[in-house]
Structure 1
Amino acid sequence: MAKVAFLGLGVMGYPMAGHLAARGHEVTVYNRTAAKAENWVALHGGRAASTPAEAASGAEFVMACVGNDDDLRAVCTGETGAFAGMSEGAVFVDHTTVSVVVTREMALAAAAGGIAFLDAPISGGQAGAENGQLVVMCGGDSAAYASAEPVIAAYAKLARRMGETGTGQLTKMVNQICIAGLVQSLSEGLHFAEKAGLDGRAVVEVIGGGAAGSWQMLNRYESMLDDMFEHGFAVDWMRKDLGICLETANETGASLPVTALVDQFYKDIQKMGGGRWDTSSLVRRLRAMG
């Protein structure tokens, strides 16, 4: 069992930290909204800290799951940042989806203090976090990963080191690129089925077990058919992730025409007031078009 700090108790971090406590790890939590940290402690035990540095003090592993590049810098650096409280030899595990630029920046800042830094973005959504069934894509030092993997296993069904610093984030970009195309195709298929007078559920029951089947189809088709999107991974978050993908594609010379198009479709959803809707709400955009 390890002494662990967890920074960021959003829809993903809250249950992830809970799995760590359930496994018997000694967990200290920090959240920008202190009341949420206190609620977590009331439910799971452990301790709440008032700053990232306080939470990280004495911890062998510090996990973070925050919002974006700026949020990550805020919890890592400065007098109250986690790096200020961490001891030499400790490992920082970043589960936030951020740019490779900030990942490498934070890895260098950590190394200056003798701290290992792993970029470890996650996939599996809120349900995956709650059920401890996340997929974790890691980049960073192999020895640091080997030491952190048993701790990460508390909330992961699969964790894998993809290479050196930044490769975890690059792998997550591939994940988001694939999802964007899949959800748009699924939306078009279900929209076509509706217009053609087919029973959408019957259609998915037939094609879901064949070559067209996907996680998105099997886990989202019913809510899409019912026009229900107050759940899951928010459009605002997806646009943030796709923005990172497109920016990195410009830097690497990769061509992402479908991703760029779907990003604009998500912009349309935001204009419809659906920034917090699930990413599968792309089908609502098609319905609105007639």
Structure 2
Amino acid sequence: MAKVAFLGLGVMGFPMAGHLKVKGGHEVTVYNRTFAKAEAWAKQFGGTAVRTPKEAASGQDFVFCCVGNDEDLRQVTIGPDGALAAMKKGAIFVDNTTASADVARELHGKAKALGLGFVDAPVSGGQAGAENGVLTVMCGGDEADFAAAEPVIAAFARACRRLGPAGAGQLAKMVNQICIAGVVQGLAEGLHFARKSGLDIEQLVDVISKGAAGSWQMENRHKTMNIDKFDYGFAVDWMRKDLGICLAEARRNGATLPVAALVDQFYGEVQAMGGGRWDTSSLFARLERK
């Protein structure tokens, strides 16, 4: 059992922190910007709720974090009540936020200067994966820090791997989002074409999902696409944030991402339709409602 803090109790962080307490058996202290959410978590899982990241991090062996973006991450780590300054020597900060590789490297350097470990560990699997404790975790950081953190991460992970030094986890998450963008757009176009052609979507998918066209997106999103249901899941607003990170990194490293850039524009159109909080599969709605 370890002493663990968790910063950020959104749709991902709330269940992830819960798995650290229940499945991992750790002593868990939580912080959320809205304190009532932290109190609700503590009531449900039996941990401790506090009012600042600094208070949450004090005396902990590991501090986990899952917040919105680079600036949110800086606020809870190096802001006026930030966690890093309160952590004991040798403790490890594990960042599950989807953020830039630059901020991961920046915070890794600041953590090392304070005698702390830092692992960038963004996750994939969405809200369902977080609730079921079966997330994929892509990590960057020093080997020793990862080796220490991996058994704790296991409480909410199905797969967890170190892919290189600080920032490598965030770069891997960018690849994940680039691949998803293309697959979801392809599925949306395929089902749109099928509907226009008068094909039975369920029979169609039952056949083609067994072949080379099959994908997680097809298995898990074709039914809700077919009934035009999008008020759930991984929000378009979040995907645009992630694709923005991907495209900014591509401008720095020279990668060419024409499909990702185009799908990002399509998601902009979905936002303009009022679908910012719709699931990413709402690319189908964009085609159907034109």
Q: TM-score range by the shorter chain?
A: over 0.9
Contact 1:120 1:137 in 2 (8 A): yes
Structure 2's unaligned 5+ residue stretches are none
Residue 113 of structure 1 is matched in structure 2 by 114
| Structure 2 counterpart of 1:232 | 233
Q: Is the 8 A contact 1:78 1:84 kept in 2?
A: no
2 CA distance for matches of 1:209 and 1:15? 32
Aligned residue identity for 1:6: F
CA contact (8 A) 1:57 1:85 kept: yes
| Deviation, structure 1 residue 281 | 0.1
Distance in 2 between residues matched to 1:79 and 1:114, nearest whole Å: 19
State the partner residue of 2:282.
281
Q: What amino acid is the match of 2:126?
A: G
Paired with 2:264 and 2:81, the residues of 1 have a C-alpha distance of 36
- 1:53 paired residue number: 54
Distance in 1 (alpha carbons) for counterparts of 2:251 and 2:80? 35
In structure 1, C-alpha distance between the alignment counterparts of 2:219 and 2:266, rounded to whole Å: 22
Instruction: Report what 1:20 is aligned to.
Output: 20
Any residues of structure 2 matched to 1:6-155 within 5 Å, and which?
A: 6-22=6-22, 23-155=24-156
Q: Is the 8 A contact 1:2 1:61 kept in 2?
A: yes
After superposing on structure 2, the runs of 4+ consecutive aligned residues of structure 1 that deviate more than 6 Å are none
Per mean C-alpha deviation after superposition, the further-off stretch among 256-265 and 99-108 is 99-108
Amino acid at match of 2:148: S
For residues 59 and 210 of structure 2, the distance between their equivalents in structure 1, rounded to whole angstroms, comes to: 50
One-letter amino acid matched to 1:119: D
Post-superposition shift, 1:269?
Answer: 0.2
Q: Which amino acid aligns with 1:249?
A: A
Deviation (angstroms), 1:79: 3.5
1:205 is aligned to 206
Q: How big is the shift at 1:273?
A: 0.5
SS at match of 2:155: coil
Deviations 1:64-119 (A, max 9, x none): 00000000000001331001210110000000000111111111111111111100
What CA distance in whole angstroms lies between the structure 2 residues aligned with 1:156 and 1:182?
A: 23
Deviation at 1:260, TM superposition (A): 0.4
Which shifted more, 93-102 or 104-113? 104-113
* TM-score normalised to structure 1 length: 0.99
Partners of 2:220 and 2:248 in 1: how far apart? Answer: 29
Amino acid in structure 2 at the alignment position of 1:262: V
Distance in 2, matches of 1:24 and 1:95, equals: 20
Matched, 1:265 2:266: yes
SS at match of 1:140: coil
Aligned mates of 1:178, 1:210 — CA distance in 2: 19
Long gaps (5+) in structure 1: none
User: Which deviates further from its counterpart, 161-170 or 78-87?
Assistant: 78-87
Alpha-carbon distance, 1:288 to partner = 1.1
Normalising by structure 2, we get a TM-score of 0.99
Percent of aligned pairs sharing the same letter: 67
Cα distance in structure 1, aligned partners of 2:80 and 2:288: 51
Aligned positions, number: 289
Quote the offset at 1:192 in angstroms. Answer: 0.5
